[in-house]
Amino acid sequence: MLDHADKFARKELAPLAPRMDADEWWPDDAFPKIGAAGFFGVTVSPEFGGVGSDLFTSGLILQAFSRWNHAIALSWVAHENLALNNIFRNANDHLRRKYLPGLCNGTKIGALGLTEPEAGSDALGSMRTTARRDGDHYVLNGSKIYITNGTVADVLLVYAKTAPEKGPHGISAFIVEKGFPGFKVAQKLEKMGFRGSQTAELVFEECRVPAENMVGAENRGVAVVMSGLNLERAMISPICLGISERALELSIDYAKTRKQFGKPIAEFQMIQSKLADMYVWIETMRTFNYRVLAAANDLEVGGGGRGPIHALTAASVMYAADTMNRVLSEAVQIHGGSGYIWESEINRLYRAIKLLEIGAGTTEVRKLIISQELLK
């Protein structure tokens, strides 16, 4: 699957990357092509339009996509893992049949609405978006920010407090369609990296959502969130791996062709040392990444947010993001002045890496998760 996804991404996604980065442009035909090629709904059973495979396979696809167009890869994982897989794992069959086929074939785009302007690392405790019951509907009020796919999403999995007095234990999950009254995109956010992967602030003003669109039971959304976060952390690491692999490939090619003092810089031992370090870092990242994907493969519904898998997924993404930082720093150093030029591919990769130390829980939060599990 890795080779298959790599060939597809090299042909179909790599040519889109320069324009996406330069113009914050979104290619409307990208997701339908990905869906037609069978790269969506990887973990979803064929009954609902999916492939019927597993999380590990999803990770391999993400790794390959990240080599050639990491912006598309980020949008892919927000759609595939945060929205589509979450709905498949937690929704009833009615909602599955209604929403999954379009998400699986790429004609519909998915997103997750969790983070808020005042609720980032404390996404659950500080959540202010509310949902009150009104007949056959829930009425949502609040906002979400830094939402990947926010400007282009058709289907969003949104969390809101149905019982604010219960804190994190009063949260419920809802499927919101972009056409629901009271829902709007407040602003598109322009980013330093992963440009072209659309990020937005979303606003809910008396947004009416059918009661049947609740995912899981009322006030039980925290189980959906925590299980999803563990899977999300396991699925961020392949992005780091794919970007790092591409950076090493670019660095080797550049070192072979760039000449200084009458010979290729690849002949200098300092450059050879950097390449050797990068290779070892990437291989250790790969081993850890694959181990954690395998461990998360059979995570039961509602089983995240505690135990060894909670620490393991946090450790995986913490290590991958930190190691990717080291790989890309050396890669830019090898490229010298050309690596500092905005339009260069290695610069595009370098500008992206900081996000992976922030998203799905910052490095600091990841350390807290690991230490708290160790000390229990």
Per the CB < 8 A criterion, the answer to whether 257 and 338 are in contact is no
Q: Is the pLDDT of residue 229 over 90?
A: no
Compute the average pLDDT of residues 166-191: 95
User: Cβ(156)–Cβ(173) under 8 Å?
Assistant: no
pLDDT 10s digits, 321-333: 999 999 999 999 9
Is CATH 3.40.50.1820 what the domain over 112-215 is classified as, yes or no? no
- Here the tokens at position 309 are 């898998």
Which range (200-209, 213-222, 329-338) has the least confidence?
A: 213-222
- Average pLDDT of the chain is 94
pLDDT at 11 > cutoff 70? yes
Residues ≥6 apart with Cβ < 8 Å to 301: 89, 90, 223, 227
Q: Which one has a higher pLDDT value, 248 or 218?
A: 248
Reduce the DSSP state of residue 151 to 3 states and report it.
Answer: coil
| DSSP code per residue over 234-276 | HHHHHHHHHHHHHHHHHHHHHHHH-EETTEEGGGSHHHHHHHH
> Where are the domains positioned within the chain?
2-109, 112-215, 221-375
% of the chain with per-residue pLDDT over 70: 98
The answer to pTM > 0.75 is: yes
Cβ-contact 188, 196 below 8 angstroms: no
pLDDT at 118: 82
Average confidence (pLDDT) over 78-94 = 94
Query: What pLDDT score does 299 carry?
Result: 73
Give the pLDDT confidence score for residue 309 in this predicted structure.
87
Task: Give whole-number Cα distances, 256 to 250, 264, 267, 279, 360, in Å.
Answer: 10, 6, 8, 16, 38
232 is catalytic: yes
HSE-up of 310 (CA within 13 Å, CB side)? 20
* pLDDT greater than 80 at residue 121: no
For the chain, give the number of residues.
Answer: 376
Give pLDDT, residue 236.
Answer: 92
The predicted pLDDT at position 127 comes to 92
pLDDT digits (tens, 9 = 90+) for 37-64: 999 999 999 999 999 999 999 999 999 9
Confidence of residue 304 (pLDDT cuts 50, 70, 90): low
The fold of the 2-109 domain, in CATH, is Butyryl-Coa Dehydrogenase, subunit A; domain 1 (1.10.540)
Q: What's the CA gap between 181 and 204, in Å, rounded?
A: 9
Q: What is the pLDDT of residue 298?
A: 78
Q: Which CATH number fits domain 221-375: 3.40.50.1360, 1.20.140.10, 1.20.1050.10, 1.10.760.10?
A: 1.20.140.10
Spot the catalytic one: 12, 116, 201, 232.
Answer: 232
Mean pLDDT, residues 146-162: 97
Token pair listed for 38: 């069978």
359/197 Cα distance (integer angstroms): 14
Q: What is the pLDDT of residue 149?
A: 98
Query: 348-364, pLDDT tens digit by residue?
Result: 999 999 999 998 889 99
Q: Quickly count: other Cβ atoms within 10 Å of residue 374's Cβ.
A: 8
